[in-house]
Structure 1
Amino acid sequence: MIVSGGEALVDLVPIERGPLSPLAPRLGGGPYNVAVGLGRLEVPTAMLTRLSTDAFGDALLARLVESGVDTGLVQRGEEPTTLAVVTVDEAGHARYSFHVEGTADRLVTDPGPLEVDALAVGTLSLLLEPGASVYTELARRGAERGLFVSLDPNIRPALVGDADEVRGRLDAIAAVAGLVKLSDEDAAWWGREPEELLAAGAGAVVVTRGAEGLRAFTTAGVVEVPADTSRPLVDTIGAGDSVHGALLAHLHDHDLLDRAAVADLDADGWRDALGFAARVAGWTCSRAGAEPPTRAELAQG
């Protein structure tokens, strides 16, 4: 089983073009989208987070269940749900502003040892205390026990307090991670080249480059695949999360949720993995909000 640990929130998304468009609620958050994506791809997965007992929290929980995600690690609290206000430019690219003060997801508590195959962490949950320290410790402790750790920084600079502290936290997780997935914007903010992360201990590093596709950095070299443009672009909300979830699904399907196995994967293996991730992300970008495809939808072409 793969556990996705981190925030679950509500995106308030414009329903039409223009700065004063009405906003519609969409359920999301990077780790939440990864969990939903894995569940829809029929990969055994669970979500570790803290959800509000408000109506948004109930809806977030129900969608996890509908997507086939195990909710046994989900905690509940009376604090409000985190909100993200989304704007989408003419090219379909999303930008976010966040309302996170005193919200439920940042107050997650340590569940103890995780008897699972993999732990995926990242996004807001690694920026906001006290939850950030909980997820960092879970990743460190899990890696010591042989758990496959996957990291997607998905940095939101507006929410970064102490940048050096955040970079140090990311460095510590990346050094024990089997997979680091990041965007080129994340890499620029972090100040770490993929080769540096490999040298520090990461099994492999996958960089998303928007319309330019995906690139994997491994000890054997660099592998690239183009973006999947076979479906019309609606928006890019959840695209990176879909890549992260799809990579984990592919590794699970091929019995590769192991740091050494990922480090040893050859170029053809990486082309298959990246191609699958690009295809899943293309599906997600073809509809509004973070709506990753099911396994059945992918089979339909």
Structure 2
Amino acid sequence: MRTEKLTIKGMCFGEVLWDNLPTGRQLGGAPLNVAYHLNKLGVETLLLTRVGEDEAGDDLLQRCASLGIPTGLFQRDPIHPTSTVEVHIDKNRDVTYEILFPVAWDYIALGEQELQAVKEADFLVFGSLSTRNQVSYETWKLLLPFAKFKVLDVNLRAPFYTPERVLELLSHVDLVKMNQEELGMVATWMGLAETSTDRMKVDAIMDKCCVDEIIITYGAKGAVYHVQSAGFSYHFPALPVRVKDTIGSGDSFLAAFLAQRCRKDKVTSPEEMLSFAATLSGFITQSEGACPIYHAATLNRFQWLHDLEAFHINGAS
């Protein structure tokens, strides 16, 4: 694996925040995490979001700039505060969140600069959480017609979603990423029986919502990439790693996948896309927080060590 400067441009829309972890404060928000990794992977990616005119907002802007996340589309809100989230990690390393409402990113506004950025981007990434408030939801609706390739990251954080809203979002996108639990919930809303297989659930969503590409993540069991127009479903296993926390692992997976899926200089196979995504996701899972510092050499070494371990295991069997 290597990182390189690619000719594609991305844009992410939605929440940025401070995750208050047991070990201290960390940057968070799925769109921010995706934007961070895309920029690390050589994909110039802007982030349209909003923070408060407060100390937490000042700190967030400074931290993003230091990490190489462009802040040109970070709006400042004089009324609503910068978002913070209380993060709880249990003994099994599973994560739960306490998300405040309302906060600055619930009030993302639209101007000519924002519209132009979407027009110039090769893809637009957003999450279902970012549309929980009517103001940001209306901004999202106005941006959508100008996006070339629309990517939805389903993030069902109770109580900030409704079946109607999520099904609407699904009906406007080209690619969806969700986990197995979220797949089950969406399928239930659509009236599918609990005994339906995951493939049946995916096919139903594709047919009803006209989505061509869906990625279902299964944690330690990997991910499956479904493409209706090509008629295939491709499973790729997760790398065996020692889990530190799972925060942001799905976001890094999506970023790495898009960095390969949307490149213009060559045709990338599903195996290459998913292998790249699984490698970065594995590295993030064994790291602390969603946006650890890393470079091409870091990922190259990580992949090399796992390839070497796999060689020894296969050679011994």
**TM-score, scaled relative to structure 1:** 0.83
Give, in whole Å, the separation in 2 of the partners of 1:226 and 1:31.
24
Task: Note if contact 2:248-2:289 (Cα within 8 Å) is conserved in structure 1.
Answer: yes
Are residues 69 and 291 of structure 1, via their aligned partners in 2, closer, same or farther at CA, if it must alter by over 3 Å? closer
Structure 2 unaligned residues grouped into runs of 5+: 1-8, 191-200, 303-317
Q: Please name the residue that 2:169 is paired with.
A: 170
Q: Please name the residue that 1:203 is paired with.
A: 212
Deviation per CA, 1:36-91: give whole Å up to 9, x if none.
11111121111100112222222222233233332222211132111211111112
Are residues 64 and 159 of structure 1, via their aligned partners in 2, closer, same or farther at CA, if it must alter by over 3 Å? same
Give, in whole Å, the separation in 1 of the partners of 2:153 and 2:49.
16
Residue 228 in 1 paired to residue 228 in 2? no
Deviation per CA, 1:198-245: give whole Å up to 9, x if none.
33332311011111111011122110011112x421010111111111
Q: Please name the residue that 1:179 is paired with.
A: 175
Are residues 206 and 164 of structure 1, via their aligned partners in 2, closer, same or farther at CA, if it must alter by over 3 Å? closer
Q: Please name the residue that 1:96 is paired with.
A: 97
Larger Rg: 2
- How far the C-alpha of 1:109 sits from its partner, in A, is 0.7
Task: Note if contact 2:171-2:210 (Cα within 8 Å) is conserved in structure 1.
Answer: no
Are residues 182 and 294 of structure 1, via their aligned partners in 2, closer, same or farther at CA, if it must alter by over 3 Å? farther
What one-letter code is carried by the residue in structure 1 that aligns with 2:227?
A: T
Give, in whole Å, the separation in 1 of the partners of 2:298 and 2:11.
23
Residue 138 in 1 paired to residue 143 in 2? yes
Aligned length: 272
Deviation per CA, 1:173-204: give whole Å up to 9, x if none.
2xxx2321111122122226322333333231
- How far the C-alpha of 1:249 sits from its partner, in A, is 1.3
- Aligned to 1:12, the other structure's residue is in SS state strand
- How far the C-alpha of 1:254 sits from its partner, in A, is 5.1
Q: Please name the residue that 1:80 is paired with.
A: 81
Task: Note if contact 1:83-1:100 (Cα within 8 Å) is conserved in structure 2.
Answer: no
Q: Please name the residue that 2:18 is paired with.
A: 10
Q: Please name the residue that 1:240 is paired with.
A: 250
What one-letter code is carried by the residue in structure 2 that aligns with 1:28?
A: G
- Aligned to 1:198, the other structure's residue is in SS state helix
Give, in whole Å, the separation in 2 of the partners of 1:90 and 1:136.
40
Give, in whole Å, the separation in 2 of the partners of 1:241 and 1:125.
15
- How far the C-alpha of 1:32 sits from its partner, in A, is 0.8
Give, in whole Å, the separation in 1 of the partners of 2:128 and 2:20.
18
Task: Note if contact 1:30-1:123 (Cα within 8 Å) is conserved in structure 2.
Answer: no
Give, in whole Å, the separation in 2 of the partners of 1:155 and 1:285.
20
Give, in whole Å, the separation in 2 of the partners of 1:195 and 1:183.
15
Deviation per CA, 1:102-156: give whole Å up to 9, x if none.
x1111101234222211101142022322123223322x124xxx1111101111
Give, in whole Å, the separation in 2 of the partners of 1:83 and 1:74.
16
Mapping for residues 1-301 of structure 1, pairs under 5 Å? 1-15=9-23, 24-78=24-78, 79-101=80-102, 103-112=103-112, 113=115, 114=118, 115-139=120-144, 141-143=145-147, 147-160=148-161, 163-173=162-172, 177-191=173-187, 193-199=201-207, 200-219=209-228, 220-229=231-240, 231-253=241-263, 255=265, 269-291=269-291, 293-301=294-302
**TM-score, scaled relative to structure 2:** 0.79
- Aligned to 1:48, the other structure's residue is in SS state strand
What one-letter code is carried by the residue in structure 2 that aligns with 1:172?
A: S
